[in-house]
């Protein structure tokens, strides 16, 4: 156990690192010893392509400590986390209340038996029913996003007795079978035939939707904000009409809110923001504040009828583990107490206006898009976006390019963002742009 003196030294070092970051000159001076060795080992173990991909985006750093808005690498450099592990850390890194709940849970319980009921599973389900939009009262716990998508597609097909799944162009849903089939990604060609009877229609085109949705359609699946596609945002009227088209055809409407959920849009969920309810909603690891792998499929009680007759169609050994349920329950308490979506709305509007001012005065960035603290900068091409990410990392801001629109740079910081953090992001972007211009 660390002594009081050791703890004080750690605190002084962290404060010094943050102060250095805020008062730094044009870039961070990196010490290449530890990270270079570990990255070289990663090339041998995980593959050169993996490391080259990280280097292209400026993410060839080795994480060490994390706290609040920041991460620190093994060489002592600090970064303001605007990647947030794809929106997982909405409440910041290592939120004290959630950490406390995790420590207590480990002492008092374990994962439990995944086919049995426990107090932890039941209490979290009750909390989720109160927290999520009206009518979404039932839950199936998962570990990751892809599993939630698999469960939703199976449930939609089973409940409706139909096989056709419709999605919109530009989506990105994860790495598993249904998720990959429905996503817009060029690497699908390497894996042969994926899931049959899935088709894609144009995003935000209600005429195309009405024509495509028939009595053969089991479900229509989309992200209300396509984060990995330059934060392309659906129109409210389109969503309203899409829900009506699904209802007329007896099809289900599925929202993937893995990244938009838990306050990122300025409301609890995008469904709240747009005022349109889906039949099924997928939520991701922000459920547990990033402290434990935990996701879920939330759905209406009518759809649950299929599970009543076919209860074992989707089982996960670690889905709804008791430790994870306790952690997620503590995270929901923090969400309710702090209401971070309100801060996300305020700070997101402030940050977007400042970014729009940068766009107006700099030709390197074409546009800014998105809602709340889910924003994207569009550059001319993929290489320009990757170069911008590398420059931002060198100036203490961690971001990542989009997976679909590779010429976009996504800005999704924790929802605890302060005025000072907003100014720091803007200053970092301005310095990064100057560095690129000077290098050119």
Instruction: Note the pLDDT of residue 32.
Output: 53
Structure tokens at 131: 């927290």
Residue pointed to by tokens 């750093």: 61
User: In the numeric block, which tokens belong to residue 189?
Assistant: 């060609």
Mean pLDDT across 254-261: 97
Domains of the chain (ranges, CATH numbers): 27-87+340-439 (3.90.1150.10), 96-338 (3.40.640.10)
pTM for the full predicted model: 0.90
Beta-strand ranges (E) seen in 185-270 are: 198-201, 217-222, 225-226, 232-233, 252-256
- Give the pLDDT of residue 21: 44
Q: Give the mean pLDDT of 266-283.
A: 98
CA–CA distance, 387 with 382 (Å, rounded to integer)? 9
Which DSSP letter does residue 103 get? H
CA distance 179 to 111: 26
* pLDDT at res. 33: 65
Percent of all residues in the chain with a pLDDT value above 90, rounded to a whole number: 78
What mean pLDDT is predicted for residues 16-29? 46
- Cβ-proximal residues to 204 (8 Å cutoff; 6+ apart), any chain: 168, 234, 235, 238
Contact 75, 35 (CB under 8 A): yes
Pair 390, 57: CB distance under 8 Å: yes
Q: Number of C-alpha atoms within 13 angstroms, CB side, residue 235?
A: 9
Q: Which helix (H) or strand (E) holds 388?
A: helix 382-394
pLDDT tens per residue, range 64-77? 999 999 999 998 89
Q: Cα separations (Å) of 359 from 119, 326, 388, 411, 429? A: 52, 44, 14, 15, 11
State residue 200's pLDDT score: 98
The stretch 343-371 carries a mean pLDDT of 97
Please report, in angstroms and rounded to a whole number, the separation of the first and last CA atoms in the chain. Answer: 51
Burial of 105 (0-12, 13-18, 19+ CB in 10 A): buried
pLDDT at 129: 96
Higher pLDDT, 7 or 34: 34
pLDDT per residue as tens digits for the range 114-143 = 888 899 999 999 999 999 999 999 999 999
Structure tokens at 238: 């389109």
Which residue matches tokens 């330059």?
Answer: 230
**What per-residue confidence (pLDDT) applies to 40?**
87
Alpha-carbon span 386 to 391, nearest angstrom: 9
Alpha carbons 48 and 41: distance in angstroms, whole number: 10
Separation CA 159–CA 170 (nearest Å): 27
What's the pLDDT score for residue 437? 87
pLDDT digits (tens, 9 = 90+) for 173-223: 999 999 999 999 989 889 988 999 999 999 999 999 999 999 999 999 999
């Amino acid at each position: 156990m660390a002594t009081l003196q050791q703890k004080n030294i750690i605190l002084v070092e962290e404060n010094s690192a943050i102060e250095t970051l805020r008062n730094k000159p044009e870039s961070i001076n990196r010490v290449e010893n530890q990270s270079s060795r570990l990255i070289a080992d990663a090339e041998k173990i995980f593959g050169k392509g993996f490391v080259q991909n990280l280097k292209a985006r400026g993410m060839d750093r080795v994480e060490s400590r994390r706290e609040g808005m920041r991460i620190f690498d093994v060489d002592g450099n600090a970064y303001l986390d605007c990647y947030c592990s794809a929106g997982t850390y909405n409440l910041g890194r290592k939120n004290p209340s959630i950490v406390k709940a995790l420590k207590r849970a480990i002492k008092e319980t374990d994962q439990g038996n995944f086919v049995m009921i426990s107090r932890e599973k039941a209490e979290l389900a009750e909390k989720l029913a109160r927290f999520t939009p009206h009518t979404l009262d039932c839950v199936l716990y998962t570990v990751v996003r892809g599993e939630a998508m698999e469960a939703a597609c199976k449930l939609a097909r089973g409940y409706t007795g139909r096989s056709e799944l419709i999605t919109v162009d530009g989506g990105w849903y994860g790495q598993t079978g249904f998720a990959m089939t429905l996503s817009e990604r060029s690497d699908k060609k390497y894996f042969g035939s994926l899931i049959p009877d899935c088709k894609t229609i144009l995003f935000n085109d209600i005429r195309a939707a009405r024509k495509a949705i028939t009595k053969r359609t089991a479900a229509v699946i989309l992200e209300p904000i396509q984060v990995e596609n330059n934060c392309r945002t659906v129109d409210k009227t389109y969503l309203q009409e899409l829900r009506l088209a699904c209802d007329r055809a007896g099809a289900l409407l599925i929202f993937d809110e893995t990244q938009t959920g838990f306050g990122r849009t300025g409301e609890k969920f995008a469904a709240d923001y747009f005022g349109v309810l889906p039949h099924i909603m997928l939520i991701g690891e922000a459920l547990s504040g990033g402290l434990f792998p935990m996701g879920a499929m939330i759905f209406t009680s009518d759809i649950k009828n299929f599970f009543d007759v076919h209860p074992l169609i989707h089982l996960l050994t670690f889905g709804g583990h008791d430790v994870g349920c306790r952690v997620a329950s503590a995270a929901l308490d923090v969400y309710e107490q702090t209401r971070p979506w309100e801060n996300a709305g305020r700070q997101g509007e402030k940050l977007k206006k400042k970014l729009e001012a940068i766009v107006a005065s700099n030709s390197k960035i074409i546009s800014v898009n998105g809602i709340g603290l889910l924003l994207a900068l569009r550059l001319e091409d993929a290489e320009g976006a990757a170069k911008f990410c590398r420059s931002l990392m060198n100036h203490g801001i961690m971001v990542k390019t989009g997976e679909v629109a590779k010429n976009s740079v996504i800005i999704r910081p924790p929802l605890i963002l302060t005025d000072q953090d907003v100014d720091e992001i803007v200053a970092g972007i301005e310095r990064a742009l100057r560095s690129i211009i000077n290098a050119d």
